[in-house]
Structure 1
């Protein structure tokens, strides 16, 4: 239950809400967010822009968006990242930081490979490198998400989410606007090579920050003790016992813990997570082909999405940290669920008026300010659902569920765009946000996010 609900202490005033951004780990989260956002765009919107620029068919672009599917299935290897300590690096840096650094190196190498190979001649090879880059990026996300939840207490989680989103969006603009401007004066090889070099921002940050500490609460300790007791009653021994214990503790316990804490409401929560960003993901895959189809130039796309989109996203993310501290997660989740699909209708309007600069500016402002706020609030909400004993596994599950339905269905958006005009395309994608709105209202009544008590470390 939140402080406002319990009456234990009054809600923070504006100055106190702003002061949370001065915490060292909150500041550092912005740089880790940058490292996470850079590859996401380079295997996503920037990659599809590159393919569209080469004249690849829209249907093929839609299917190639599945190169980013690693983000949606990362829960499959999250237990390994959660429990396995890497040799040598694990002892030197700690579990979270060693996985971060290893993933960042893999990302840089993948981007460098994409820079050196022309998709026009070797499309499948470049697509394979995009998959490798996405895998490294998804692995980095698992480790960073776990670090973010474990590094500070609950009172700073919304601020951590806000600075993470801010850094993430700066990286997205860098990877799109920066890359497109480099392409305008040089070529795609230099653009992707420069982005590979920028991954050093994440590497340096990882080496500077301290490894977080997480504690196991009594309920979790009792759950793990049941695993030990079960193994004591079996004839398992040696490596078989070790593997069984690891699998149950790393894979089974995180899911059992979540279901035990939330009971029947767990399914409702997972459905809400699965639908919250569907409208955004649907629209996002076809955004770059849409801009080019309408008649905007590469320079217009890069500069407008950069100059206006970045400012509004940072404003939205900054507002998220303050508004959650002031009003709680529940109200802001409902607001975010309402606004995310509503902004898709602005793009339908742009499709009607054509390549007018003011139309694109208004669409980018509306989409990015609401997107920054909604994602910042949603990250804080997902963090509140985790148990610090299973942070990486549970958060990876939540974030995978958040993107998997939309990411899979987005593979068919090219076919949808070919079947209808752009106006109806954006109206249809806006309609996909209705379930999230309904579920947000239901959760506010039956499973109020501001009354969730997160077990584990709270300091």
Structure 2
């Protein structure tokens, strides 16, 4: 009996030992740096605008600034194949781009902190756009850094650590910002511009965590032989048609911007479109609900310090548990099964917010709802990050992951822009029920993609798949 117990403890210890790796800690801190800016142009900004007296419909449209994340594939080839002067020489290509984006983020967040939405909403929108752009750039390079930092078996653990850091930062950027704002102006019934400006200045200071991590981390050693060979072959072909300077520019552009997309479609063939459809819809339920969450809390009568306390304590704990548990589940059961579980949990938990809307002001119920919501989101996102990472290939990881993660956000954020108008027309109960219903078709997509992928693995390779590693024709 003691041997069985000892063996079980040993297996548990081995399962958790992966979280002690240095790369996992680095990704935890970089995840924090990536997650902090998102909420500053998303739900926290919605809370600020609502307290400033901006109407719900305008807040919903204002959220379209976050659509920048959906277009980061457009400049991801620069991050993948272009070295920055001085920074890349000192730190390497990945860390040089990370530091550049983080410094730009600090400047833009400080710009938001010196803005007044009542007197000059356009100024605030401009700096919010800058934050979104710099944050999306940071996401591109951190995602590539994460994928290139370890072998495939470690990706679930890296994804979980990244998710823990990311979700923790999201909570600090919401609950932490609300706590600071409430500390500066304790009266929840009085709007104070200074309280929000102070909160955003503190958030800019917290970006130093990402800067320090970047400076002390190690540049990943990436095998880009195939991508480099393809670029040389393409350069030779362009040299036969154009002058040397033009040929070099065209070959670089083709390698950086075209080959990553061709590589993806050649590897996945007929399933590529289906995979992209799954990616574009997977987070729709979570994102559509999220844009109105803090607005909902305000309208239900919850104070800033109440929301902050619930999110900071219970929300953070359940996020950590969900992300860590999600990483272990992915490593043990495989990505697709946990991807299905995560989608199911996220869709179901939105119904809890509908029940909260029926009950109204109830701190105990809200604590339970936020806790379950964060647990579900942690599991779902850990599985989703691992899945997206598995779809990329060496040499094109930044561009391919940027494309996939952009597709993940583009459609849901567009739909979320109408959330304020929907609530005004139909109320919160109908809104949360609708946000839940639109998440259930995702379950069918997960099952279909899994089935098609398994069929392709057991089928002989097609002529297109056999040519995947060949230099593309131009």
Length-normalised TM-score, structure 1: 0.93
Question: Where in structure 2 are the equivalents of 1:56-455 lying within 5 Å?
Answer: 56-186=54-184, 187-216=195-224, 223-224=230-231, 227-232=234-239, 234-448=240-454
Would the alpha carbon gap of residues 451 and 181 (structure 1) be closer, same or farther in structure 2, given more than 3 Å must change?
Answer: farther
Give how far 1:52 is off: 0.7
- SS across alignment from 1:386: coil
Where structure 1 has 5 or more consecutive residues not aligned to the other structure, the ranges are: 1-11
**Aligned residues of 1:224 and 1:253 also touching (Cα < 8 A):** no
Deviation at 1:428, TM superposition (A): 0.7
Q: Is the 8 A contact 1:330 1:450 kept in 2?
A: no
Q: Report which stretch shifted further, 368-377 or 334-343.
A: 334-343
RMSD: 1.9
SS in 2 for 1:343: helix
| 8 Å Cα contact 2:31-2:165 kept in structure 1 | yes
- Per-residue displacement from partner, 1:207-262 (whole Å, max 9, x unpaired)? 000110111365x5675465245324x41122211111011100110000001100
Going from structure 1 to structure 2, the CA distance change for 1:125 and 1:66 (only over 3 Å counts) comes to: same
Q: Give the drift of 1:64.
A: 0.4
Larger radius of gyration: 2
Using the TM superposition, give the Cα deviation of residue 15 of structure 1 relative to its aligned residue in structure 2, in angstroms. Answer: 2.6
Contact preservation (8 Å) 1:329, 1:449: no
Distance 1:382 1:217, change over 3 A: farther
- Alpha-carbon deviations, 1:110-140, whole Å to 9, x = none? 1111111211111110111000011000000
Aligned equivalents of 1:317 and 1:289: distance in 2?
26
Asked whether the equivalents of residues 18 and 157 of structure 2 are also in contact (C-alpha less than 8 Å), the reply is yes
Q: Which residue among 23, 42, 45 is the counterpart of 1:44? A: 42
Paired positions, count: 441
Between the aligned partners of 1:115 and 1:398, the Cα distance in structure 2 is 32
Deviating runs (4+, > 4 A) in structure 1? 220-226, 448-452
Q: Is the 8 A contact 1:272 1:436 kept in 2?
A: yes
1:7-26: CA deviations, max 9, x gaps? xxxxx943322111111011
Residue deviations 1:296-353, cap 9 Å, x none?
Answer: 1111111112211111111010001111111111210111121111111000000001
User: Counterparts of 1:217 and 1:274 in 2: how far apart (Å)?
Assistant: 31
For 2:5, the equivalent position in structure 1 comes to: none
Residue by residue over 1:150-185, the C-alpha shift from the partner in whole angstroms, topping out at 9 and shown as x without a partner, is 001111101101111111111111111111111112
| Conserved 8 A contact 1:386-1:394 | yes
Three-state SS of the structure 2 residue aligned to 1:59 is helix
- Report the Cα distance in structure 1 between the residues aligned to 2:30 and 2:434, rounded to whole angstroms: 35
For structure 2, list consecutive stretches of 5 or more residues without a partner in the other structure.
Answer: 1-9, 185-194, 459-467, 470-474
> Closer, same or farther in 2 for the Cα pair 1:145/1:451, shift >3 Å?
farther
Cα distance in 1 between the residues matched to 2:205 and 2:403:
30
For the 8 Å contact 1:62–1:413, the answer to whether it is kept is: yes
After superposition, the Cα gap between the structure-2 partners of 1:361 and 1:449, relative to the gap in structure 1 and judged at 3 Å, is: farther
Q: Decide whether the 8 Å contact of 1:117 with 1:126 is kept in 2.
A: yes
Q: What is the match of residue 14 of structure 1? A: 12
Q: Report deviation, 1:287.
A: 0.6
Q: Describe the SS at the equivalent of 2:396.
A: helix
